[in-house]
């Protein structure tokens, strides 16, 4: 019980008061131009007040063309800074650390939403996406860095790079989607180049006290990632000393890998046995009960809650108060979700998202 309620210091020197992180959760509540709305402010600040040591925003796109959802929060323009400043001030006053997730959907940006052909490391017929030229890759890299600088101006304590779920950074990492024959494609070192260049650029521009985290997917045909390579990258990132935390998006932390050769150990064990250096490792995926938390925290430095935090804005407080706390049984009605600080737009999105998750066995 003590470990999860104890503080944790990142290499940047910043500290979180406990090991509970709010997962990045797309909620479709922002204004159409990407500005943070009152609804999204309420959703996030209720969680920071509810005891989360670290409050992370949803995926926020760094270029207009990288938008994935209606109502998605953006960080591609200085016009986004003002509303975000109010958010980070409030999160800080609730004694929580604020992190914005930097995102670009690449081939997964719907053409209908962005009004042009989506982009990808290489031409992709299934997504009707076109390959980026090498100068566009450099602009993409620089726009991630500029978005981090903007986030710092808005008062965020740091950023998380969304390198998971088959979005653009993951597309570059993947040997399935990245078929380039320049320095950003081919062998794993080249495919990993973009993420390292973004990290180096952010560190140079935002300084050593700024938190940098990276989120990765461990495996999956859809992500175009295999476990051998994701473990190789995870360890490379952690021992590089360049990032503060690594966030493994496992969807079910105690699940075994898909590939037969790696079965016999669950995903959390595969990553927790890697050399971490000073980097703090954490996981997300179906952590809902005190039992899950105590089991997961044995392996990693911190844990992240998504669906449990939707159901209970003050999960960390409830966990501290009730020794056997677990989330309320689902489904819950709309009135319950409204009381937990969700707007109609978020509730509507959740119904789509849950259908997708049931289909994909998450």
User: How many Å apart are CA 137 and CA 141, to the nearest integer?
Assistant: 6
Other CB atoms closer than 10 Å to residue 187's CB: what's the count? 8
| Identified binder of ligand FMN from the candidate list 4, 24, 36, 195, rule CB under 6 A | 24
Give phi and psi for 261, each to the nearest 5. Answer: -60, -20
Closer residue to ligand FMN (CB): 131 or 154: 154
DSSP category for residue 128: T
Site for ligand FMN in 120-179 (CB under 6 A): 162, 164-165
| Segment near ligand FMN (CB under 6 A); pick from 23-31, 88-96, 115-123, 168-176 | 23-31
Region of 115 (left: φ > 0; alpha: ψ -120 to 50; beta: rest) is left
Site for ligand FMN in 240-259 (CB under 6 A): 249, 251
| Segment near ligand FMN (CB under 6 A); pick from 108-116, 223-231, 278-286, 316-324 | 278-286
Residue with tokens 């131009």: 33
Q: How far is the CB of 78 from ligand FMN (least distance, A)?
A: 22
| Segment near ligand FMN (CB under 6 A); pick from 33-41, 113-121, 306-314, 322-330 | 306-314
Closer residue to ligand FMN (CB): 107 or 287: 287
- Whether 18 and 6 have beta carbons less than 8 Å apart is answered as yes
Binding status of residue 315 toward ligand FMN by CB under 6 A:
no
User: How many Å apart are CA 323 and CA 207, to the nearest integer?
Assistant: 40
Q: How far is the CB of 310 from ligand FMN (least distance, A)?
A: 7
Binding status of residue 23 toward ligand FMN by CB under 6 A:
yes
Site for ligand FMN in 67-106 (CB under 6 A): 101
Binding status of residue 286 toward ligand FMN by CB under 6 A:
yes
Helix (H) or strand (E) holding 305: strand 302-305
Helix (H, G, I), strand (E, B) or coil at 211: strand
Helix (H) or strand (E) holding 9: strand 8-9
Binding status of residue 215 toward ligand FMN by CB under 6 A:
yes
Q: Which residue is nearest to ligand FMN (CB)?
A: 306
281 Cα distance to chain centroid: 13
Residues 6 or more apart in contact with residue 189 via CB below 8 angstroms: none
| Identified binder of ligand FMN from the candidate list 19, 108, 231, 307, rule CB under 6 A | 307
Binding status of residue 267 toward ligand FMN by CB under 6 A:
no
User: How many Å apart are CA 24 and CA 22, to the nearest integer?
Assistant: 7
Binding stretches for ligand FMN (CB under 6 A): 23-26, 58-59, 101, 162, 164-165, 215, 249, 251, 284-287, 305-308, 350, 353
């Amino acid at each position: 019980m003590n470990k999860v309620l104890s503080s944790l210091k990142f290499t940047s020197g910043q500290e979180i008061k406990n090991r509970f992180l709010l997962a990045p959760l797309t909620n479709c509540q922002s204004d159409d131009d990407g500005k943070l709305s009152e609804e999204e402010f309420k959703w996030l600040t209720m969680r920071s007040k509810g005891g989360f040591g670290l409050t992370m925003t949803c995926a926020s796109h760094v270029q207009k063309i990288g938008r994935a959802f209606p109502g998605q929060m953006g960080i591609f323009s200085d016009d986004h800074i003002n509303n975000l400043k109010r958010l980070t001030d409030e999160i800080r006053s609730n004694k929580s650390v604020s992190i914005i997730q930097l995102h670009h959907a690449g081939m997964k940006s719907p053409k209908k939403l962005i009004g042009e052909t989506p982009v990808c490391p290489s031409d992709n017929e299934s997504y009707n996406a076109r390959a980026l030229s090498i100068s566009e890759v450099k602009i993409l890299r620089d726009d991630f860095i500029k978005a981090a600088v903007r986030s710092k101006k808005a008062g965020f304590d740091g950023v998380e790079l969304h390198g998971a779920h088959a979005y653009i950074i993951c597309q570059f990492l993947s040997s399935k989607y990245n078929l380039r024959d320049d320095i950003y494609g081919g062998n794993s070192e080249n495919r990993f180049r973009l993420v390292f260049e973004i990290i180096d650029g952010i560190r140079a521009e935002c300084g050593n006290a700024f938190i940098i985290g990276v989120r990765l997917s461990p495996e999956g045909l859809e992500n175009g990632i295999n476990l051998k390579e994701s473990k190789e990258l995870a360890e490379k990132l952690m021992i590089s000393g360049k990032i503060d935390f690594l966030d493994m998006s496992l969807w079910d932390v105690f699940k075994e890998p898909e590939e037969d050769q790696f079965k016999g150990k669950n995903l959390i064990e595969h990553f927790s046995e890697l050399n971490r250096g000073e980097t703090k490792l954490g996981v997300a995926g179906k952590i809902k009960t005190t039992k899950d938390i105590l089991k997961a925290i044995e392996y990693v430095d911190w844990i992240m809650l998504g669906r449990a935090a939707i159901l209970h804005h003050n999960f960390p407080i409830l966990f501290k108060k009730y020794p056997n706390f677990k989330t309320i049984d689902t489904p819950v009605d709309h009135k319950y979700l409204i009381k937990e600080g969700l707007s109609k737009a978020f509730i509507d999105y959740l119904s789509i998202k849950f259908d997708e998750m049931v289909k994909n066995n998450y």
